[in-house]
Each structure stands twice: as structure tokens, then as C-alpha cells.
């Protein structure tokens, strides 16, 4: 890992790392570890939305469906604006489809952000199902505790997120990692491949 010593010029872009993958693949955990070990800011759209007071948002989140792209993108941009002094961002849970990637590209160019790495953590569905069931015992998340909601989340992932992942695979800063490996091993691969931040 190379860390820029200081921002020499204001025009220097702000580095960002994107995590993508199915629900329960470990992207939230790895994003947190990365942020703890660096000076980057964790951006979890799931966490941002869970703090919303909007009853409609709360109800929709319980179903496992993705929320409207414009709503999530506005929340994301607000978060970035509020934290614009951060040395960089780690996106966890955004973008989740092709439209969101286009919106993110706009947000990034408006805010002088640059994608350094895209990490795709892939895990077989059966393992994800078990992990989410386990996580549900302590997460307190309604969407972790219902096998039917898991099916909806996986459906959204396959329909919306997989086409996005497919389109990003050709990018040179894209790396697929098996999320079935030990947590520490995944972290090591991430740090071994991390660009200059």
C-alpha cells in the first residue's frame, strides 16, 4: 500500500475504493477494516438508509428490494458533501446497478473523486444464506432474519448488480476475490492490491 504524503495541490483527486458483491459476501467487514487501517471514510448506503426517518424507506428496506436510484444517489451525494474533507472514500453497497454507476460517475466528477480499486467479493449462494442467518442472530436487521427476504435480496443482486459487475470486469483496477477465503486472507489480498491512496 502506498499512501500519498500530503495533498500537494487542491486539484489532486480524492481516492476511492469500491466494494461489490452479494449480500453477506463480507464487503461491509472488509470496508470497515480498510477504513480502520487507512485514513479513508466508510460509505455504506445501507447504513445511511437505515438511519432514515422516512417510513417509506424503512418499509421498503424490510422487503429486500433495492430503493429508487435517485433517492439513494441523493443520500450518497449529501454524505460525500458532508464529509468532503475526507482523504478518500470506501464505497460499500453502492453502486448496485448500471444506472447507479452512471450516477456515481457524475458524483465523482462533480466532487473530484477517482476510483483506485474495485474489489468484487464472490461467495456461493448457499454460504451466503448461512452467513446471513448467523448474522441475523446479532445484527438486529429485519432483512437478515427472513429467508424470503434473503431470496428477494439475491434476486435483486442477480437482476441488477450482476450486469453491473459484468460491465466492470474489463476495468484494469477490478479484482475478483473469493469471499470464501478466511477473513484475514481476503484483507491481505486487498492490501496487496491496493493502489496509491
Residues in contact with ligand AMP by the rule CB under 6 A: 23, 45-46, 49, 61, 64-67, 72, 93-94, 96, 100, 143, 153
| Residues in CB range of 178: below 8 A, 6 or more apart | 121, 122, 123, 186
What's the min distance (Å) between Cβ of 93 and ligand AMP? 3
The residue number with the shortest CB distance to ligand AMP is 46
Nearer to ligand AMP, 59 or 192 (CB): 59
Give me the least distance between CB of 18 and ligand AMP, in Å please.
Answer: 11
Minimum CB distance to ligand AMP, residue 72 (Å): 4
CB nearer to ligand AMP: pick between 4 and 106: 106
Kindly state the smallest distance separating residue 28's Cβ from ligand AMP, in Å. 7
- In the complex, what is the shortest distance from the CB of residue 127 to ligand AMP, in angstroms, rounded to a whole number? 16
Q: CB-wise, 1 or 162, nearer to ligand AMP? A: 162
Cβ-count burial 111-130 (b if 16+ within 10 Å, e if not): eebebbbbbbbebeeeebbe
Beta bridge partners of 18: 91, 118
What does the block give as the cell for 108?
465523482
Nearer residue to ligand AMP within complex by CB, 38 or 45: 45
- How many residues appear in the chain? 197
Is residue 96 classed exposed, middle or buried when 0-12, 13-18 and 19+ CB atoms within 10 A define those classes? buried
Pick 67 or 121: Cβ nearer ligand AMP:
67
C-alpha cell at position 34: 480498510
**What Cα–Cα distance (Å) separates residue 98 from each residue in 12, 20, 165?**
27, 13, 9
Residue whose CB is less far from ligand AMP, 135 or 181 = 135
Tell me how far, at minimum, the Cβ of 136 lies from ligand AMP, in Å: 12
Torsional sign, CA 3, 177, 179, 117: positive
Please name the residue ranges forming H helices in 5-161. 27-37, 45-50, 55-63, 69-82, 98-110, 125-139, 147-156
Amino acid at each position: 500500500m502506498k499512501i500519498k504524503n500530503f495533498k500537494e495541490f487542491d486539484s489532486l483527486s480524492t481516492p476511492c475504493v469500491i466494494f461489490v458483491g452479494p449480500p453477506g459476501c463480507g464487503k461491509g467487514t472488509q470496508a470497515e477494516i480498510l477504513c480502520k487501517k487507512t485514513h479513508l471514510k466508510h460509505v455504506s448506503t445501507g447504513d445511511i438508509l437505515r438511519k432514515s426517518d422516512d417510513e417509506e424507506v424503512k418499509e421498503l428496506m424490510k422487503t429486500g428490494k433495492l430503493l429508487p436510484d435517485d433517492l439513494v444517489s441523493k443520500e450518497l451525494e449529501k454524505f460525500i458533501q458532508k464529509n468532503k474533507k475526507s482523504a478518500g472514500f470506501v464505497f460499500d453497497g453502492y453502486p448496485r446497478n448500471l444506472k447507479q454507476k452512471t450516477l456515481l460517475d457524475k458524483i465523482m466528477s462533480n466532487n473530484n473523486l477517482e476510483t483506485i480499486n474495485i474489489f468484487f467479493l464472490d461467495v456461493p449462494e448457499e454460504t451466503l444464506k448461512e452467513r446471513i442467518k448467523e448474522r441475523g442472530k446479532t445484527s438486529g436487521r429485519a432483512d437478515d432474519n427472513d429467508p424470503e427476504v434473503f431470496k428477494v435480496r439475491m434476486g435483486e443482486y442477480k437482476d441488477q448488480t450482476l450486469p453491473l459487475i459484468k460491465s466492470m470486469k474489463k476495468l484494469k483496477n477490478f479484482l475478483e476475490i473469493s469471499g470464501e477465503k478466511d477473513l484475514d486472507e481476503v484483507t491481505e489480498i486487498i492490501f496487496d492490491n491496493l493502489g496509491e491512496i
